[in-house]
Amino acid sequence: MNGLRGLLSFMYIFLRLLLCIIPNRLYEMLRKLLRQGNEYHTREQYISIARSYLKELGTKCFVGSCVMEIGSGNQIETASCLLENGAKQVIVVDPIINPRLSQSGSLVVVEASCFNEEIAHRYARSIDVLVSFQVLEHVRDVPLFMRCVAEVLTPNGIFFARVDVSDHIYHGIKPLMSVLNVPTEVIRCKYLEYSDSFYRRIHPHKRVYMNRCVLPEILQAMDDAGLKWQLQGRYLTHNNVIYPDIVKRVSAKYSQYTQAYWFTLRGSRDEAPPA
């Protein structure tokens, strides 16, 4: 097992360094070759993301509601599906979205921006359902993000976020790992084995930023913003794989959740927990 760990660490760092040094244009070309497209997901997958919101929260939640989708990527398929299922209006917020996509009357409003204080003031207390899919792990300032969530929600508003803190390089090498028969647990959160300063050196800074926040930090930010939360997902117990720099950031209150690699958060400003 130690030999396998050593080999994986070597491969991992090699791959990361390789990604750091290849020019952006070559990187984009390879990405297009492998994924055959410029978006994160296909149209069908964006619709299925909307369906998963409808399933998890119940369609009733969306009927007549003002919905905000944060970090949509460059698409409004998810928003359109939520409108078809009764939402009154969907506001889509992402810095990379093309503002021209807000074409279906005023029902889809596109905010080509990060979710920040300016957006939060503009939509204060007006969002019934706020959703995001694989975004929180890319946000630069999670405490600020949570304060903005608390500000935009109506008193009974719901925040729903699917978060994937597994190393995104792992997504690309997953098929290789299964051919090599490597247990996925070994590689999923590998990026947490390195100190912040070392990780900065091997992080390729291509496409999206990755914040390396672990679940307890996110829960703390929700508490600090006055958001009640519920959690579903897969948690592994805290173990010594996580670098001490990261463990130090984590309050003892939530340390049992440290190594979650994906989870769903539901939050609410209301005193009552979300139904």
Ligand X SMILES: C[S@@+](CC[C@H](N)C(=O)[O-])C[C@H]1O[C@@H](n2cnc3c(N)ncnc32)[C@H](O)[C@@H]1O
| List of residues contacting ligand X (CB under 6 A) | 40-41, 70-73, 93-96, 114-115, 133-135, 138-139, 145, 208
Instruction: Compute the least distance from the CB of residue 247 to ligand X, in Å.
Output: 25
Residue 44 or residue 271: which is nearer to ligand X going by CB?
44
DSSP letter for each residue of 199-240: HHHH----SS------HHHHHHHHHHTT-EEEEEEE-PPP-T
- CA 39 vs CA 17, 36, 188, 207: distances in Å: 25, 9, 23, 11
Q: Which is nearer to ligand X, 138 or 238 (CB)?
A: 138
Q: DSSP label at 154?
A: E
Question: Residue 231, Cα to own-chain centre: how many angstroms?
Answer: 15
- Residue 77 Cβ, how far from ligand X at the closest point, in Å? 10
Smallest gap from Cβ 136 to ligand X, in A, equals 8
Phi and psi angles of residue 159, each rounded to the nearest 5 degrees, phi first: -110, 130
Which of 9, 264 has the CB closer to ligand X? 264
**Residue closer to ligand X, measured from CB, 207 or 247:** 207
Give me the least distance between CB of 275 and ligand X, in Å please: 25
SS3 143: helix
The CA-based angle 44-65-42, given to 5 degrees, is: 10
Residue number with CB closer to ligand X (94 or 151): 94
| Chain position whose Cβ is nearest to ligand X | 71
Question: Least distance in Å: CB of 238 to ligand X?
Answer: 26
Q: Which is nearer to ligand X, 11 or 208 (CB)?
A: 208
* Neighbour count for residue 21 (Cβ, 10 Å): 7
Give the nearer residue to ligand X in terms of CB position, either 40 or 160: 40
Q: How far is the CB of 62 from ligand X (least distance, A)?
A: 17
- Tokens read off for 85: 């299922």
Q: Tell me the CA distances in angstroms from 162 to 18, 83, 134, one per residue in order.
A: 30, 20, 6
Minimum distance from residue 182 beta carbon to ligand X (Å) = 24
Give the closest residue to 130 by CA, choosing from 74, 89, 84, 166: 89
